[in-house]
């Protein structure tokens, strides 16, 4: 079984990719054919996105909750499952984030984890997409001023 998104291979019994949260397929050739067919003639294939490790979790549900928050704010992320060096734990779950969104993701997750905000207390800048606290009057990335409303 293979993940059609990240192309990782899974042993029998798995039905979905824990990192990409998509259903697995038996053969990647059909996925490759669909990707090539969907690509307009003369347009190069998409450049792979560079991901960076951001933070680790001991529980998969915590990592999935963080990933859902990032997804709500259009920040691409994935979960990587690794063996845990702690002998009392089998696995640990690392959240990897697209490099271009790592500052916004860090700020957003830190606000939520510290209890100073909830996912609804942040908004994406309408001009550049930067995740900004709803209390801000302008975007710190591009300078766009927000109207009070």
Residue 115 is predicted with a pLDDT of 65
Report pLDDT digits (tens) over 100-145. Answer: 888 888 888 887 777 655 545 566 677 777 766 666 667 777 777 7
Beta strands in the chain (DSSP E): 51-57, 77-83, 91-98, 122-124, 131-133
The whole-number average pLDDT for the span 69-83 is: 88
Architecture per CATH, 50-119: 2-Layer Sandwich (3.30)
User: CA angle 109-78-114, nearest 5°?
Assistant: 10
Residue 62 is predicted with a pLDDT of 87
Q: Model confidence at 29, in pLDDT bands (50, 70, 90)?
A: confident
The whole-number average pLDDT for the span 25-50 is: 61
Place of tokens 């003369």: 42
Strands 131-133 and 51-57: unpaired
Map out the domains of the chain as residue ranges.
1-39, 50-119
The whole-number average pLDDT for the span 70-96 is: 88
Contact status, residue 6 vs residue 17, Cβ threshold 8 Å: yes
Q: Which residue has the higher pLDDT, 20 or 91?
A: 91
User: Is 37 a residue whose pLDDT tops 70?
Assistant: no
Residue 9 is predicted with a pLDDT of 81
pTM (predicted TM-score): 0.49
Q: How far apart are the first and last CA of the chain?
A: 49
Contacts (Cβ under 8 Å, ≥6 apart) of 122: 73, 108, 111, 131, 132, 133, 134
Strands 51-57 and 91-98: antiparallel
């Amino acid at each position: 079984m293979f993940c059609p998104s990240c192309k990782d291979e899974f042993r029998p019994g798995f039905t979905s990719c824990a990192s990409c949260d998509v259903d697995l397929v038996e053969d990647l050739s059909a996925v490759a054919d669909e990707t090539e067919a969907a690509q307009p003639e003369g347009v190069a294939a998409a450049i792979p996105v560079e991901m960076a490790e951001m933070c680790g979790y001991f529980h998969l549900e915590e990592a999935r909750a963080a990933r859902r928050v990032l997804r709500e704010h259009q920040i691409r992320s994935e979960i990587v499952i690794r063996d845990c060096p702690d002998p009392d734990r089998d696995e640990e779950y690392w959240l990897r984030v697209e490099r271009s969104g790592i500052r916004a993701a860090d700020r957003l997750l830190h606000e939520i984890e510290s209890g100073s905000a909830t996912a609804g207390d942040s908004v994406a800048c309408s001009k550049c997409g930067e995740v900004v606290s709803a209390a801000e009057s302008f975007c710190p990335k591009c300078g766009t001023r927000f109207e009070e409303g």
